[in-house]
Amino acid sequence: MSAEGFIGRIPVRNLWLLMLYASDLFRTRGIGKIGLEDSPDDLPDLVAEILAHSVEVRQRRRLSLGYRSRDAVINRVRGRIDVLTTERHQLMDRGLVACRFDELTIDAPRNRFVRAALESISRIVQRKDVAHRCRALAGGMKAMGVSGDAPTRAQMSTDRFGRNDADDRFMVAAAKLAFDLVLPTEASGANVLSLPDREATWVRRLFERAVGGFYEVVLSPQGWRVLCGGTMGWQIEQKTAGIDKILPTMRTDVVLDHPSTGQRIVIDTKFTSIVTGGWYRDETLRSGYVYQIYAYLRSQVGCGDALADHASGLLLHPAIGQMVDETVLIQGHRIRFATVDLTASTADIRSQLLRFFDPIQSNTEKIFRPTLQL
């Protein structure tokens, strides 16, 4: 792959893979089981096809309508009267009234978002027939009355799906991933966008959501429960009045539970080098991260949750210059410090992630199994 196919040291194809794992589309209707990840170079084309198909299905059944707030001067009362505007312009003398009302329209934020996604991904797909299909569908939506003013992600986050909106949920999930795939590279182009490797918060959150999404799809059929972005409480016995305002919240990235075997694995993801320079040695684990995963584990002991009493921890970093996979047993909790090579092939990334899901039975049993004294 040429240098233009990299963001920093990470191939664009692997960032696309992380976006796939992090997306709602990967979790929806078994999409994670149909092999999208096997061809990450073709991922934009495949996502474009999925998006186009979902839009075609919705168009055959008619796109969903939504309510839009509107101000208008009309000849009858509708919704609420804008008294100030009506009086200022003396509309009543002409038999008119200014009103504010909600109007049912096809030009809903959901549909505008999908139209913009079709236009966006059509510019990066390789197959001309897929690009033409996306542009044609976007043009069809325009002809139906869907404007090109796309809502922001913040506005879309307020969109709520009803029980009859399953097809819309799938379509919007594909549209969100389509937007994410329109990535910048370090090559010059028409669009000016910030580079993900220079946006530490963005790429760290992507890595976190990708790990959670991957495990949710792959491990759930095996009896694992996957919780992403949960919180833990402190075992507080006494407190002063103002402590709640300043005591930090323990927020985990991913927690894996396997009730039938009594296993819990608390995963904390970072997007920095797993080791740093120390005072008395060349490399050492970052003490703050070690304290953090230790607090996640020990703070929950004795709360009446059997899984928490013997939980394991996994501190997961991308590999920066070296691979690390080490384990330690501290006060009955196994803590694993490991890396994932994001420059590897997609098959290798998948296998690396899978070897972490059961650290108790992989190499730690061999290390910590007690020996019989004869």
CA distance 207 to 89: 56
- Nearest to 347, CA basis, from 18, 19, 34, 37: 37
pLDDT tens-digit profile of 98-155? 999 988 899 888 999 999 999 999 998 888 999 999 999 999 999 999 998 888 877 7
Spell out the CATH class of 199-235+247-368.
alpha beta
Nearest-angstrom CA–CA distance, 178 and 217: 20
Domain ranges across the chain = 3-65+107-197, 66-105, 199-235+247-368
* Tokens matching residue 106: 């096809």
CA–CA gap between residue 350 and residue 84 (Å, rounded)? 62
Residue among 49, 26, 38, 230 nearest 132 (CA): 49
pTM of the model: 0.71
Render 226-272 in DSSP notation, one character per residue: EEES-EE----S---TTHHHHSPPEE-SEEEEETTTTEEEEEEE-SS
**If pLDDT is split at 50, 70 and 90, which confidence band does 170 have?**
confident
Does the structure show a pLDDT above 50 at 29? yes
Query: If we measure between CA atoms, which residue out of 175, 169, 182, 122 comes closest to residue 151?
Result: 175
Q: pLDDT by residue (tens digit) across 196-251?
A: 444 556 777 888 989 999 998 888 888 999 999 889 999 999 999 999 999 999 99
Q: What is the mean pLDDT of residues 313-321?
A: 88
Query: Given its phi and psi angles, is residue 268 left (phi above 0), alpha (psi -120 to 50 degrees) or beta?
Result: beta
pLDDT tens, position by position, 34-84: 556 666 667 888 889 889 998 998 888 888 888 888 899 999 999 899 999
Q: What is the pLDDT of residue 154?
A: 77
User: What amino acid is encoded at 116 in this protein?
Assistant: A
**φ and ψ at 300, to 5 degrees?**
-100, -5
